Amino acid sequence: MNWSAIRAIYVFEMARFFRTIAQSLISPVLSTSLYFVVFGAAIGSRIQEVDGVSYGAFIVPGLVMLTVMTQAISNASFGIYFPKFIGTIYELLSAPVSFIEIVLGYVGAAATKSMFIGVIILITSFFFVDITIAHPLAMVAFLVLTCISFALMGFIIGIWAGNFEQLQLVPLLIVTPLVFLGGSFYSISMLPPVWQTISMFNPVVYLISGFRWAFFGLADVPIATSLLAIAAFTALCLGTVWWIFKTGWRIRQ
Amino acid sequence: MAPILSIRDLRKSYDGGFEALKGVSLDIEEGEIIALLGPNGAGKTTLISTVCGITMPTSGSVTVAGFDILDNYRQARALIGLVPQEIALEPFEKVINTVRFSRGLFGKGRKDTAVEDILKRLSLWDKRDAQIRELSGGMKRRVLIAKALAHEPRVLFLDEPTAGVDVELRKDMWEIVEQLRNDGVTTILTTHYIEEAEAIADRVGVINKGEILLVEDKDKLVARMGQKQLDVQLTTHLEAIPEALASYDLSLEGDGWTLVYRYDTKAERTGITKLLNDVSAAGLQLKDVVTRQSSLEDIFVSLVREAPENAA
């Protein structure tokens, strides 16, 4: 293992994050506050409680997940796409590093960044609502796994993308709808039966449900199913990354 | 001594079927500077990219200090530094950080004195905290070299280091290469400037259409260049050089219709008058007399034009 290379990539990527620390933090904090104002105050005054939890508190896990997923994807996809775009990828390819080390560096950095932002949002939410965390360890585990698996997915998108449009395409057309329809702002049980069934095909439902369970001990789907879902998703991403590594797809001619 | 870089029958075909390298073999000795000359699209960059691991070879083998670039890619690549043709740098990063990054990426621990030394050597120390985008084009090229040297490689590839670079920087670049040679670094550079090859290389290789046409010591090439050739075309056909002219270093060409005399233009006496007197004394009738000077450029152009017949 070339640990020195993993560290170099990680530090370099984190430096990019800290260079723009203001916008890296202000924008998620601001948008989270807006969500609280719009959903918590406006809609929350009509919904009030979901399964015994105040609506303002109920949306916190969903908000954290929403941000963490989109941030992990955008950070990881940009992190590996940018060197391809500006040509500095030559250095990675000519360095004595294996693909695993490249993935560890980039995905590790992207996962760290998104986790950082997730925690900031959680802290922000404490200013708006009272939250207790029923299963802190499970909460951390879900957060970490989600950050890693979505960063892996972002890495795959970044490798695949041939231009900036494609880089935005998957997050915009697939991930964002799935995340919004994944029960960030509502309980699946509040939907009509048909939509409940359809929602079961949305993998994000399982993640948000599991994460919410860690907070309030209540879930749309059994916690075991949620764990299975995130494990399966992580395995799928790891498998894809391994395949890219084997074939050199879109990296080495 | 075993060559530091050994390329054997290297072939590279791209997905579209284009064959960029058609069986290149080349041995490079430790500490030498070799210039690969060739027109655009000759395969220079593909050759470098394949050796450095950016593209995968279709067949053939490459070893660096005995390490195969595929089986022992870590050891092989750790010995190589690459300065690419195009300027490719992270625009918002500081100079010193990109150099540190390169050093770490190639498996060397953080060592600030080494980075400082490299930056000073390339006159970048004053700019170490500047963002790359603030630098001029010439400075950016220096950063690329600093990155390539950050892990103290034994072999340095410079892919057209002076394309689009002003005269002063070109001279600086040559000086840097010369310094590196003193440290024992082997340098392989590609160029299409013949004077560049003349100025710094020990050996010159000519590459075209994916084939190496010639590899020769620069001094020999330059010696060839300093020579002039006198073609004495005759009205009669000769089977052999006449006895009376045996004292000259002559060769019979053109199926016996031409006597060729090579002489050094820098010599005090070229011997032409005496030769021509002796030729007429030998009873030979002159049809025409032509003199020619071969330059490295001539050699280059004729090699490139006459490929593949001349490939052997």
Instruction: Please say whether the dihedral angle defined by the alpha carbons of residues B300, B58, B50 and B26, taken in this order, is positive or negative.
Output: negative
Taking the C-alpha atoms of residue B186 and residue B175, their distance in angstroms, rounded to an integer, is: 14
The predicted structure's pLDDT at residue B311:
40
Contact A159, A244 (CB under 8 A): yes
> Residue ranges per domain, chain B?
5-222, 226-293
3-state secondary structure of B206: strand
Which ranges of chain A does DSSP label H, i.e. alpha helix?
Answer: 3-19, 21-35, 44-47, 55-86, 89-94, 99-126, 136-160, 164-170, 176-180, 193-199, 203-216, 223-247
Contact B88 A5 (CB under 8 A): no
**Phi/psi at A103 (5° precision):** -60, -45
Compute the CA torsion angle B212, B200, B161, A4 (nearest 10 deg): 90
**Phi/psi at B248 (5° precision):** -90, 155
The answer to whether residue B309 scores a pLDDT higher than 70 is no
Contact A96 B52 (CB under 8 A): no
The answer to whether residue B24 scores a pLDDT higher than 80 is yes
Contact B55 A19 (CB under 8 A): no
Does domain B5-222 match CATH 3.40.50.300?
A: yes
- Token pair of B20 as six digits: 């960029």
Tell me which chain A residue has its CA closest to the CA of residue B16: A253
The answer to whether residue A97 scores a pLDDT higher than 50 is yes
The predicted structure's pLDDT at residue B266:
65
Q: What is the mean pLDDT of residues B109-128?
A: 92
How far is C-alpha A171 from the chain's CA centre? 11
Amino acid letter at A210?
Answer: G
Q: Which residue has the higher pLDDT, A104 or B298?
A: A104
**Residue B161 binned pLDDT confidence (cut-offs 50, 70, 90):** confident
Chain A residues lying within 8 Å of B103, measured CB to CB: 8
Topology at the third CATH level for domain B226-293 = Alpha-Beta Plaits (3.30.70)
Reading phi first (left if > 0) and then psi (alpha if -120 to 50, else beta), residue A136 is in alpha
Quote the DSSP letter at residue B94. Answer: B
Taking the C-alpha atoms of residue B254 and residue B246, their distance in angstroms, rounded to an integer, is: 19
Contact B232, B207 (CB under 8 A): no
**Alpha carbon of B157: minimum distance to chain A alpha carbons (Å):** 11
**Alpha carbon of A157: minimum distance to chain B alpha carbons (Å):** 21
**Phi/psi at B176 (5° precision):** -60, -45
The predicted structure's pLDDT at residue A190:
84
| Nearest alpha carbon to residue A13 among A138, A107, A147, A140 | A107
The answer to whether residue B310 scores a pLDDT higher than 50 is no
Work out the end-to-end distance of chain B between its first and last CA atoms, rounded to an integer number of angstroms. Answer: 26
Chain B residues lying within 8 Å of A106, measured CB to CB: none
**Residue B294 binned pLDDT confidence (cut-offs 50, 70, 90):** low
The 3 state secondary structure assigned to B253-297 is EHHHCEEEEEEECCCCCCCHHHHHHHHHHCCCCEEEEEEEECCHH
Q: Beta B5-13 vs B211-217: how paired, if at all? A: unpaired
Q: CB-side exposure of B209: number of CA atoms within 13 Å?
A: 10
Q: What is the mean pLDDT of residues B166-184?
A: 87
Q: What is the mean pLDDT of residues B141-157?
A: 95
Q: What is the mean pLDDT of residues B51-58?
A: 93
| Nearest alpha carbon to residue A242 among A117, A176, A181, A156 | A156
Cα B97-A92-B189 angle, rounded to 5 deg: 90
DSSP string, B114-165: HHHHHHHHTT-GGGTTSBGGGS-HHHHHHHHHHHHHTT--SEEEEESTTTT-
Chain A residues lying within 8 Å of B106, measured CB to CB: 5, 95-96
Taking the C-alpha atoms of residue A138 and residue A61, their distance in angstroms, rounded to an integer, is: 13
Chain B residues lying within 8 Å of A82, measured CB to CB: 90
Taking the C-alpha atoms of residue B129 and residue B151, their distance in angstroms, rounded to an integer, is: 20
Q: pLDDT tens digits, residue range A20-66?
A: 888 778 888 888 888 888 877 777 777 778 878 888 888 899 989 98
Q: Compute the count of residue pairs across chains A and B with CB atoms less than 8 Å apart.
A: 83
